Amino acid sequence: MKPYYLQIAHMLSAYHPDDVIAGIQAWLEGVEIGMHRQGWKPVIEKPINREYFELGGLYYIEDKSHIKSHHEMFVMPPCPQCGETLYLQYICTKDKTNKVGWQSLWLCTNDDCSYKEYSLKSLNEWYKELKKKEA
């Protein structure tokens, strides 16, 4: 088996270099703020019938229950459409399709709800505002 970095380099050759750099920046940002904050949970077994990505020999699956436990640390606002809890997603500002310079996106934890709101505030700015005050 090839070393992981060679596998990664091989996969990246399918993309435009600018997109690769944007992707790496998003990835570094993701690591910095913690994958779990974005609702990704590592699993060992390759997931079947669901979206995942592979990183460092682990499979990451979207895990909204984890987002909910994360929300115990933060006061997340309710969805204006359905009342369920909202969560934040990171947006890459280097992405050329992101002309406005959006830094984050509010999404609803309700799978049936399509609520979306883009924000110019970074995740760190939002989390500072949303952090529950120590008792």
In this structure, are residues 93 and 37 in contact, taking their beta carbons and an 8 Å threshold? no
Stretch near Zn ion under the rule CB under 5 A, chosen from 12-20, 69-77, 102-110, 127-135: 102-110
Contact with Zn ion (CB under 5 A) among 27, 113, 122, 130: 113
CA atoms of 64 and 4, how far apart (whole Å): 28
Residue 93 interacting with Zn ion (CB under 5 A): no
* Number of residues counted as binding Zn ion (CB under 5 A): 8
Residues 30-89 that bind Zn ion (CB under 5 A): 79, 81-82, 84
Q: What's the first-to-final CA gap in the chain, in angstroms?
A: 51
> DSSP secondary structure string, 77-111?
PBPTTT-SBEEEEE--TT-TT--S---EEEEES-T
Interacting residue with Zn ion among 59, 90, 115, 126 (CB under 5 A): 115
- 35 or 113: CB nearest Zn ion: 113
DSSP helix/strand/coil, 128: helix
Q: Judged by CB under 5 A, which of 110, 118, 122, 127 binds Zn ion?
A: 110
Q: How far apart are CA 11 and CA 26, in angstroms?
A: 17
Residue nearer to Zn ion on the CB measure, 45 or 112: 112
Q: How far is the CB of 82 from Zn ion (least distance, A)?
A: 3
By beta-carbon proximity to Zn ion, the closer residue of 65 and 81 is: 81
3 state DSSP class of 50: coil
Residue ranges binding Zn ion (CB under 5 A)? 79, 81-82, 84, 108, 110, 113, 115
